[in-house]
Each structure stands twice: as structure tokens, then as C-alpha cells.
Structure 1
Amino acid sequence: MTRSTPILAAASAAILLFTMGCKSTPKPAEAPQAAAVPESNEPRIYVTDEVSGDLTVIDSGTFATIATIHLGKRPRGIHASPDGKTIYVALSGTPIAGPDVDESTLPPADHSADGIGVFDVATNKLVKTIHAGSDPENFDVSKDGTQIYVSNEDVSAVGIVDIAKGDIIKSLPMGAQPEGVKVSPNGKFVYITSEETSTISVLDSAAGKIVATFKVGHRPRNVAFTPDGKLAYINAENDGTVVLVDAVKHKVLKTIPLGTPGQIKPMNVLLSPDASRLYVSTGRGKKVFTIDTATNTVLNSVEVGRRPWGIALSPDAKTLYSANGSSNDIAAVDLATNTVTKTVPAGTGPWGILVLPR
């Protein structure tokens, strides 16, 4: 009995230490599960990010970022196919240069990065990039969805791209620094802006040639046709104005002042579906203006962010979205009250914006 007592005590102590040791060693913590990105059935907002090279996809119901997809270098112009199943994006390997930058100090252009990215809406993926000439900046899609008309900025040309072939089939010389491209409602003409020569080149889509060129003020960038195709609104960036054009005779009818030139710099123009309102983004002016097209006078303006560029409307035309390049965000404007109701991050250097229903 006297010999067994130390043995039992030692055994009890060992059991106690083992038990304490087990209790003092916690189980490894399980990695937290990533929260699912909330989605709604509301339209999606697609934003091209010129600096980061991405496409940011935002749910307009929750304002959550659904996806960020890398597209390539300098995604800018963005437009959908007529059926809304495909999104096309202009990509360019030409280095970014502001108006006061000495381009001789920039690295050489990477033309292997030039093209039109083809993005599938259903899968949220970039499926391919098609050849579209040198330094494509903006473009428009033909009414039948078979061709793309693209501004090739650094070679002062407009290119015609066959989507099925995936290649440019014709290139036509025009004014220097082409940017905005817009197909008329009946599809017969295409207006292409020239920033440097301050002209509009009129492309006859059936003939495949430029049939007219006319002046519209200083540094035009974008075009909006009325639904009947009889009129067009074109910004004149350096004048601080919007120009009203007879789109049948291809001549200027009226100039609409927005503000002090240099402070207010009209960039993009967008008509409401009923053409009763024209919306104008103003770059460094930080505002979006609303023009009453019945009187062609300014109704109001709202500050949306730093360097608003691309603008788009919700399918019900009740909300306007602006891509604010220097703020790295988009703003949602309630058009009934002319107030910004939401501002959300949207990549680096937002440039173009498109809204599509789910």
C-alpha cells in the first residue's frame, strides 16, 4: 500500500496536466466565409476605367460592385450591341496625355493593345478583342449590329469594322483628333467629331465615304441626334457651348452657352428618350447641365464630381449616372429633384458609362 501511493499520485498528476493542456490549446479558428455580393434585378451599370484598364460592373439597385474585369489598356468608348447581349469597348495602347502634355516626352505607343474588346453580358467576361485600327477612342454600332464605326485618333481617320470578320475593312481620312462617333437614327449617316480641326465629318454608311464636312465651334467631342434624325446637338468644349445642327443640311442653326469658356468645358451630350431634355457633362466644370430642347435654354445644373465625362440614363430615364474621372466614382442624379442621391467608387479613371437592364 505504501509503495502504490506515489505511483497513483504521479498518475493522477499526469492525467491532470494532460487535461489542463488539452483545455489550454484552442482549436484553430476557421477562416471567415466571404460574404456574397448582394445583387438585385435592377439594371447594371458598366464603367470603363481608363487608368486601371478595367470594366467596373455595378448593381444600380444596391450600388454594390458586382465585378471588376480587366480589359486591357485605356478602355474608353463603350456601347452595346442592338440586342444588348454584347458590350463593345475601345482599347488603346497610346499613352494618356492631357491637353498640356508634351507628347514627345511620353513612351511609344503599344499598338498591339489597340482594338475593340468584345464583352459577353451573360457571362460577365471579355471573350475577345477585334482589330479596329490605330488608337481607337470612341465608336458607334450600326443599326443592324454588323459594323462598328470607330475614331482612330492618332491617325486622323474613321475606320469601318466588320464585326463578324473581326477586322477593319475600310479607313477614311478626316479631321485631326477624331473622337465622338454617332450613327443617325435611320442609320444612313455617321457623324464623327474632330477635336483639332473643330469639324464634323459626315460618313454615308451605304456608300462608305465621307460626303460632307462642316465647322461647329471649337473642340467638338460628342453628338446626340433627335429621334427623327433632323437635328443634332454637339458640344464645343473650348467655347463652353452646345451647338444645335440641322442634320439634314449639315449646318449650324444655333449656339447654346453654358458658362465661362475654360471653366465650363462641355464633354458629352445625351438626349432623354422623348428628346425634351439634353444633358451635358462638363469635365473640369464638375457639373451636368440640363437644357430644355423646346427653348434651347439651360434649365439647371448639378455638381456631380471631379471631371464628369461619360453620362448615361437609367432605362426609365428617371436617373442620370455620370462617370467622374478624377473622383474615381460615379454619381447618381435624381432628375426629378436634380440632386445627387448616391456616389460610389468605380475603379481608377472612369471614362465611359453604359446602363443595361437585367
Structure 2
Amino acid sequence: MFRITAFLFLLIVFWGITGNAQSQARLLALSKADHTLAIVDPATLKVIGTVPVGEDPHEVIASTDGKTAYVSIYGGGTLHTINVIDLLSQKPLPNVDTRPLFGPHGIEFVNGKVWFSAEGSKAIGRYDPATNKLDWSMGTGQDRTHMLYVSADAKKIYTTNVNSGTVSILTGTLITPPNGKPREDWSQTVIPVTKGCEGFDVSPNGKQLWAAASEDGSIAVIDVETKKLITTIDAKAVGANRLKFTPDGKMVFITSLRSGDLLVYDAQTQKELKRVKVGKGAAGILMVPDGSRAFVACSPDNYIAVIDLKKLEVTGHLEVGRSPDGLAWAEQR
């Protein structure tokens, strides 16, 4: 009897620990019109808190430990602020002033640092929360350096340059000059694609980069190792806004802000699998790490569509405020 009771006790404790761990996962969603960050329980799809942010929030990212969020305040390339949010207390912390870099937009958290595109300065910047300083930047020389992807080892940075119609691949290496101290050297490869290329993603295996162009609806497929354009898919995704691979790398989602379509492509065959109507206009995409669902921000509709990744169907809607856009996943560790 004692053994059974002890076993049940341990089982209950285990359930409690795992249930609590699961409950710490949060969906972060920006409302551009209400100037708020909504914190959502992904299990119940209920908003459990909102925090005020700046006048033109566009993208959000969470720290690796899931305790802090960073929000880029864009202003069409004119503003210079990153909001910092304590996700535990659900309160704003002191802002980051990105000057002399203007127009922070795309934002990533890698190796303990915040990386961001600075569209108004044609550059990439990096902020170190430990020192509370901007500790690195590099110019792209391209027009509207907008979205951003940083590799897990922080040795490669990818951007789309919307008005230049290019993709930049920035590669960092450590060099030691003769009789000098080691320093980090960065080189840039600029790959011509199609004007209006904005939403993009790198495949989970790190081999390909797909970028969608809003003007002609095409998708550029780039070989990351050779840094060359492989092919251009005539996807007819006019108004394309964002693009994301599923966690298993088998499918690619593209949203159209103009038509409200969600296009689903087979990553291997590069063929369209399905076109899902999610609203009047579709923008930000967030894949749930376990590969079960995706969230699509439908800005003109004032809701977020919930997509079942197996059925490729809309299974529900979530309201987080007017004109939702930037989405992120935060998991407290």
C-alpha cells in the first residue's frame, strides 16, 4: 500500500511539474493600432495580460529564457526605440535607444543578445542586455533592410532589402592579423532577387532561404552555402508579406496582406499544396515549436487565425487588439 501511495504521489508531482512547464509557454502578439503587447496562454487562447508599447510596434522577440520581450518601434524607418517588457511581472522596463541607428524592424535574440535591422540607417545593429549597450553594427548599403534572421551560432545574418530587391548574407569570422589581436571580420554577399522581397525564412536544416516578393508574388529560393539564387517560383502571391517554414521543414507558409490568402508550399517539390482564405489580409506568421499549429495575424480583420498544420485548416480565431501583426513564442526556462 505504501509503495502504491508513494508511486501515485510521485506521479502527481510529475504531472504537476510537466503541467506547470507547459503552462509557462506564451504567445506574444502585437497590436499596431492599440499599441499593446498581448500575452496569450496558447492552451486556452485567452489573453492573460497586455502591456503598453510604443507608437508603431512591428516585430517582437523573446529572450531565450522566456522572461523578457523586445519590441521594435519602427516608424517607417524614422524612430529609434526598442521596448523591453518583463514578461513575469507583465510590465515595461526602460527602453533601448538605438541611435545612431534608426528604424528598428526585424528583431532576433541569439547568444544572449538582441539583433535588429535598422531600416532608416541601411544597417544591422546589436544590443547587449548585460551591458545595456549597442555593441556592434554593420551597414548593408541596401534600401529598406527590413526582415532579419540570425543563425544559432550568430555567425550568419540574413536580411531582405525590400526596395533594392536583394537579399544580404552577412558572414562573420574571427581573424588574427600578424602581430595583432583577434577581431571579428564580417563580409556581405548581396544576392539580386525581385523588388519587393520582404518576408523570408531559412529552412530548419540551414540549406535554403526562401523570400517572397509582394510586387509580383514570386518566391526566390537561394542556396545558403553557395549564396546563389537557385530558382524563382511564380507563386502569384501578390501582396506577399511573411514567409515561414514549418518546424519539420516540409512545408512553407506565405501570407498575402492584399488577398488574405495563406499559401502552403511543399518545400521539396516547390509546388503549391493549398491556398487557405484566412481573412481580408494576412501578415505575421508564428509556428508553434511542436509543429501542431500556426498562428497568422490578419491585420485588417483584427484577429489572429489559428491553423491546424495537419489539416491545413483554420480552426479558430484569437483577438488581441486592432491590427495584429508581429508574433513571437516565449517559453520560460
TM-score (norm 1): 0.77
Q: Quick one: percent identity of the two aligned structures?
A: 24
Q: Which letter does structure 1 place at the counterpart of 2:224?
A: A
Q: Which letter does structure 2 place at the counterpart of 1:159?
A: G
Match of residue 164 from structure 1: 130
Q: Quick check: 1:325 aligned with 2:306?
A: no
User: Which of 172, 179, 193 is equivalent to 1:216?
Assistant: 193
- Cα distance per residue 1:205-227 (max 9 Å; x no partner): 44353421111212121331123
- The answer (yes or no) to whether the contact 2:265–2:272 under 8 Å persists in 1 is yes
Q: Which letter does structure 1 place at the counterpart of 2:223?
A: D
Quote how far apart the aligned CAs of 1:196 are: 0.7
Inter-CA distance 208–289: structure 2 relative to 1 (3 Å threshold): farther
Aligned mates of 1:69, 1:83 — CA distance in 2: 19
Q: Quick check: 1:119 aligned with 2:96?
A: no
- Cα distance per residue 1:233-289 (max 9 Å; x no partner): 111221202211011121110122222x6xx32211111122111111111120111
- The answer (yes or no) to whether the contact 2:67–2:330 under 8 Å persists in 1 is no
Aligned mates of 2:273, 2:23 — CA distance in 1: 33
| Number of equivalenced pairs | 298
- Cα distance per residue 1:70-121 (max 9 Å; x no partner): 01121111112223232211113x369xxxxxxxxxxxx5x4xx32222222
Match of residue 32 from structure 1: none
- The alignment partner of 1:221 has SS state of strand
- The alignment partner of 2:300 has SS state of coil
Match of residue 24 from structure 1: none
Quote how far apart the aligned CAs of 1:46 are: 1.1
Match of residue 236 from structure 1: 213
- Cα distance per residue 1:273-317 (max 9 Å; x no partner): 221111111111201111111211111021112321111122321
Aligned mates of 2:52, 2:294 — CA distance in 1: 25
Quote how far apart the aligned CAs of 1:186 are: 4.1
User: Which of 136, 153, 156 is equivalent to 2:119?
Assistant: 153
Q: Quick check: 1:297 aligned with 2:274?
A: no
Match of residue 180 from structure 1: 147
Q: Which letter does structure 2 place at the counterpart of 1:176?
A: D
Quote how far apart the aligned CAs of 1:185 are: 4.2
Aligned mates of 2:64, 2:172 — CA distance in 1: 17
Q: Quick check: 1:64 aligned with 2:41?
A: no
Aligned mates of 1:73, 1:267 — CA distance in 2: 21
Match of residue 166 from structure 2: 199
- Structure ranking higher in strand proportion: 2
Match of residue 108 from structure 2: 140
User: Which of 280, 296, 312 is equivalent to 1:306?
Assistant: 280
What's the RMSD between the two structures over aligned residues? 2.1
- The answer (yes or no) to whether the contact 1:231–1:247 under 8 Å persists in 2 is yes
Quote how far apart the aligned CAs of 1:58 are: 2.2
Aligned mates of 2:84, 2:288 — CA distance in 1: 22
- The answer (yes or no) to whether the contact 1:160–1:170 under 8 Å persists in 2 is yes
Inter-CA distance 335–229: structure 2 relative to 1 (3 Å threshold): closer
Q: Which letter does structure 1 place at the counterpart of 2:251?
A: R
- The answer (yes or no) to whether the contact 1:329–1:344 under 8 Å persists in 2 is yes
- The alignment partner of 2:240 has SS state of coil
Q: Which letter does structure 1 place at the counterpart of 2:287?
A: L
Aligned mates of 1:50, 1:190 — CA distance in 2: 26
Match of residue 252 from structure 1: 229
Aligned mates of 2:239, 2:97 — CA distance in 1: 32
- Cα distance per residue 1:179-205 (max 9 Å; x no partner): 101013443210111111011222224
Aligned mates of 2:94, 2:195 — CA distance in 1: 37
Inter-CA distance 46–138: structure 2 relative to 1 (3 Å threshold): same
Inter-CA distance 128–141: structure 2 relative to 1 (3 Å threshold): same
Inter-CA distance 95–140: structure 2 relative to 1 (3 Å threshold): closer
Quote how far apart the aligned CAs of 1:331 are: 0.8
